[in-house]
Structure 1
């Protein structure tokens, strides 16, 4: 009996030791990278246990302006403090500096037990002198670094867009991928180019430590993710960050609440600057609708739209161009106008923005061809989309401005046969809506003698080493083009608006363009536009300024336009 008990116990011990040996072999040899039912990577976990680290960059692709300066986010100088620093004897000058800046720094490091940026302890940016002092001291555990600065863009926020952590949407877009950072672009360029900007590898500063968190002697810190020639990718945009900053400062100094500015390089039809107001509520961008880019949103254009009627008249009805019109009459011709302008010819009517003239011409043109207004809106590149659209790699109909709305002319098919509806449509009211980006494109089309091109905001996608991955070519729209002679006449008419018409506020500047004041369905509230180009003799820029949902006496369109033009055309301008 005693012998059998010994045999049983021996067998159990042997089986137990065999089990232990098998588990050790499974851990060490058979399944180190996928252990257990949850497939845990033991090798990775063991490394994580003996390494402390801090993220310097998310690894997400970066945006550059047209001069290769970082756009939106930036790199800042900072100092990393590792936890073991709290127990070290520091040089007196460094110790004094830390004690003066953050008296409780040692206790805080012991509490968090993780590396931290000194700027986080101080809640302010680190000075260059402090960074240099740390570099010269060469103290283990106190490292001067360059890291990602602000997470959200500091300029052109609506254009650049926001990036937010959203695992659910990330998995929907890219599949269920094992990745700690599931950030995605939720608006603007960040959303449009999200698949290209997705992080491949974070940039980290890593330090090997022992079981209680002290550094392992003889092992230096390591930078991870900073030596890849290809990733992260870079977007080379057409934005001039200096001009963008100048425009934002100017617009905000005038207190614009809703509206914005679009600035194009008329030679290339590239976007140089875009500003939208109100400013974005980055905490609740969608709940407050401040994420909406007003420059890509369709609005009532008012008299700016008379440019379309003028183009149609020039090319299709010489008699209307040679007539004179009683501009003391209202838009319908059945009563007195609020403005008594007297008898005006076609060019004078355009300059002084006579509603009766263009309502009369519009009714005649539509009576002869009921699609003529939309035909000429398209000839002028007004209806949209006007942003760059094309195939790129596996993406069909890729849009650089995915949030851009299309223009609209008619609200009801029957409006084309209703005289009062045609009259309202001809002066940019009723159901007419276009985006400020499209209005800028219309002016650019005229300046370029009827040549239509899509607007680009991203010129190239670059690898991390600066070589080109993808170039976005010019997209010319050759169908349904305006005649060159018509464009030349329209340029002269736009010049007359400033010389002798509604744009005379800008008369001292070399500017040509068209004004517009559109009723928006609220008492004493209007959209105030000015769309033009400058300098007149040798055009460089097309600019649209629109002050939306504003009273007549509070509109700042002209002062803002004037201030920006002066800065762009003065010596030493951005």
Structure 2
């Protein structure tokens, strides 16, 4: 009986040993790179356990402004220290002397550290080129001067640049043939999304130091700089944004109290977005909240800015002779306008003072001959369809702007037969919808003499060695456009909005540059008394360089007009051009 129990115990112990040995074989030899349901790479985990690592760059491509300035990050030469220095004797006095800090500061920082760190914490010291060189020439293990990439909580043009995420499900859906690590970021919105295939990481850059069980440096092992196998990455996406102008524009929009709206500034000759501000601002803690929507790419009711379309049609149809006048004491349906009696006005003054009655009459007359004229001229001026750059790049379709809405004139084609609906549509009400970007590009089109071009947000993509991957050339939008003659007449009308004493843009007359433009006030919610307030135009008038839209959505009647904000931006550009 006793021998039997001993035999059973021996069998049990042997079985347990075999199970343990089998488990170790499975762990050590079979599942080294995908252990457990979490697919843990045991080899990497083993190395990590005996390594101290400082990630310098996650390897994802970066965004730069048109002058080469980093947008979403900052590259700062900084001092990196490893915690094993506390167990070593090293020339701390020399480092302190080079960076101009006390030895006690350095000692205290190292004593408190459990992992490699940038000296200075949230406010790292910024080394000069000579300081960096002096530090690295000392070749002290665990002491390095490196270019650290620091990411900002608030990115200029945040909605345009966009956000990233690390969703495994989305990675598999978008890149089923790629084995992306759990830490790899992919684009979620904005340019981060539309340029994601260019931006994907090909490996991170990091400093790695192997340590022993006590955390000290292993004998004979030096710190290694590990970088992506392909030296051409990460890529640089060179945007058309001017960082200095963008930051000033964001400040001005906030100072003017714009809660929902913003500005779009276009370089007319290059057809590029120089600045784009969208409010509400993006909240990094809630990247999919209300602030994630780029309001400058979202269609809204334009109000009287749309009279630009009706005016262009009236010019081509010869519907408004210089001698003809309109009773601007009346509303669009012929009743007395008690709120805004403007008297008898000709076509030019009607445009300058934004008389609804004139454009109601003209649109009804033109519609009898051409029922589709409003939609036709909206297309000619680029208010319908996508405004942003798109085209084939290496057999792949690239659309630069993320979720740009396309605009519309009619919701129901039958409404074209109703004179009342025609009148409302002609003044930018009823079903008319368009984006601030499209309005800005309409102004650029008129300023260019009728030449209609796609708008770029990115000028080129470069490899890490600054060679060009792709260069985005100017592209026509396609389709019909207005004639040079019509564009010239529209330029004169837009200028008169500012020069006429009672023009809706008269407050812009005293600016240091000549401005042309059009105001707009659209009723969006009668019950709440909400309005969209616009001012769109271009400048300088005689040598156009910039097209600009300033807009405040869902605001109240007593809120300020958009001309002060428009004026603010013009002054910023004028001041910059004088430097």
TM normalised by structure 1 equals: 0.87
Q: Relative to structure 1, is the Cα distance of residues 90 and 512 closer, same or farther in structure 2, using a 3 angstrom cutoff?
A: same
Q: How many angstroms apart in 1 are the aligned matches of 2:564 and 2:399?
A: 34
Number of matched residues?
Answer: 555
| Structure 2 spans left out of the alignment, 5+ residues | 1-16
Q: Relative to structure 1, is the Cα distance of residues 486 and 103 closer, same or farther in structure 2, using a 3 angstrom cutoff?
A: same
Q: Indicate the SS of the match to 2:533.
A: strand
Q: Relative to structure 1, is the Cα distance of residues 395 and 337 closer, same or farther in structure 2, using a 3 angstrom cutoff?
A: farther
Shift of 1:322: 5.4
Q: Match for residue 181 of structure 1?
A: 183
Shift of 1:78: 3.3
Q: Match for residue 506 of structure 2?
A: 504
Q: Match for residue 237 of structure 1?
A: 239
8 Å CA contact retained: 1:313, 1:320: no
Shift of 1:217: 3.4
Q: How many angstroms apart in 2 are the aligned matches of 1:67 and 1:392?
A: 24
Q: Match for residue 459 of structure 1?
A: 459
Q: Match for residue 517 of structure 1?
A: 521
Q: How many angstroms apart in 1 are the aligned matches of 2:221 and 2:106?
A: 30
Q: How many angstroms apart in 2 are the aligned matches of 1:308 and 1:505?
A: 24
Q: How many angstroms apart in 1 are the aligned matches of 2:253 and 2:26?
A: 67
1:550 aligned to 2:555?
A: yes
Shift of 1:61: 0.3
Q: Indicate the SS of the match to 2:73.
A: coil
Shift of 1:507: 0.7
Q: How many angstroms apart in 2 are the aligned matches of 1:189 and 1:571?
A: 27
Q: How many angstroms apart in 2 are the aligned matches of 1:173 and 1:456?
A: 25
Q: 1:216 aligns with which of 215, 218, 229?
A: 218
Q: How many angstroms apart in 2 are the aligned matches of 1:362 and 1:102?
A: 79
8 Å CA contact retained: 1:266, 1:542: yes
Q: How many angstroms apart in 1 are the aligned matches of 2:459 and 2:78?
A: 32
Shift of 1:261: 0.9
Shift of 1:265: 0.8
Q: Deviations over 1:147-206 (max 9, x none)?
A: 221255531111111223322222221126251423122221111111211111101011
Q: Indicate the SS of the match to 1:52.
A: strand
Q: How many angstroms apart in 2 are the aligned matches of 1:391 and 1:411?
A: 32
8 Å CA contact retained: 1:61, 1:231: yes
Q: Match for residue 342 of structure 1?
A: 343
Q: Indicate the SS of the match to 2:392.
A: strand
Q: How many angstroms apart in 2 are the aligned matches of 1:188 and 1:19?
A: 53
Q: How many angstroms apart in 2 are the aligned matches of 1:529 and 1:47?
A: 60
Shift of 1:70: 1.3
Map residues 51-130 of structure 1 onto 2, 5 A cutoff.
Answer: 51-89=51-89, 91=91, 93=93, 97=102, 99-100=104-105, 103=108, 105-106=110-111, 108-109=112-113, 113-120=114-121, 123-128=122-127
Q: How many angstroms apart in 2 are the aligned matches of 1:221 and 1:43?
A: 19
Q: How many angstroms apart in 2 are the aligned matches of 1:22 and 1:526?
A: 73
Q: 1:197 aligns with which of 196, 199, 219?
A: 199
Q: How many angstroms apart in 2 are the aligned matches of 1:420 and 1:540?
A: 39
Q: Match for residue 474 of structure 1?
A: 474
Q: How many angstroms apart in 2 are the aligned matches of 1:252 and 1:102?
A: 44
Q: How many angstroms apart in 2 are the aligned matches of 1:364 and 1:317?
A: 11
Q: Match for residue 4 of structure 2?
A: none
Q: How many angstroms apart in 1 are the aligned matches of 2:280 and 2:351?
A: 32
1:259 aligned to 2:247?
A: no
Q: How many angstroms apart in 1 are the aligned matches of 2:285 and 2:537?
A: 36
Map residues 139-150 of structure 1 onto 2, 5 A cutoff.
Answer: 139-150=140-151
Q: Match for residue 406 of structure 1?
A: 406
Map residues 366-445 of structure 1 onto 2, 5 A cutoff.
Answer: 366-396=367-397, 398-445=398-445
Shift of 1:291: 0.7
TM normalised by structure 2 equals: 0.87
Q: Match for residue 483 of structure 1?
A: 483
Q: Relative to structure 1, is the Cα distance of residues 415 and 207 closer, same or farther in structure 2, using a 3 angstrom cutoff?
A: same
Q: Relative to structure 1, is the Cα distance of residues 490 and 81 closer, same or farther in structure 2, using a 3 angstrom cutoff?
A: same
8 Å CA contact retained: 1:497, 1:504: yes
Q: Indicate the SS of the match to 1:456.
A: coil
Q: Deviations over 1:521-542 (max 9, x none)?
A: 1544321111111111111111
Q: Deviations over 1:65-116 (max 9, x none)?
A: 111221222213433332312323455657884644885752x43xxx4323
1:538 aligned to 2:546?
A: no
Q: Match for residue 9 of structure 2?
A: none
Q: Match for residue 165 of structure 2?
A: 164
Q: Deviations over 1:326-345 (max 9, x none)?
A: 00001211333521111111
Map residues 262-277 of structure 1 onto 2, 5 A cutoff.
Answer: 262-277=264-279
Q: Deviations over 1:484-513 (max 9, x none)?
A: 110110001000010011100101131001
8 Å CA contact retained: 2:61, 2:235: yes
Q: How many angstroms apart in 1 are the aligned matches of 2:301 and 2:107?
A: 55
Q: Indicate the SS of the match to 2:264.
A: strand
Q: Relative to structure 1, is the Cα distance of residues 337 and 399 closer, same or farther in structure 2, using a 3 angstrom cutoff?
A: farther
8 Å CA contact retained: 2:76, 2:126: no
Q: How many angstroms apart in 1 are the aligned matches of 2:263 and 2:391?
A: 26
Q: Deviations over 1:434-477 (max 9, x none)?
A: 10000011111111111111101111121111111112222213
Q: Match for residue 10 of structure 1?
A: none
8 Å CA contact retained: 2:534, 2:561: no
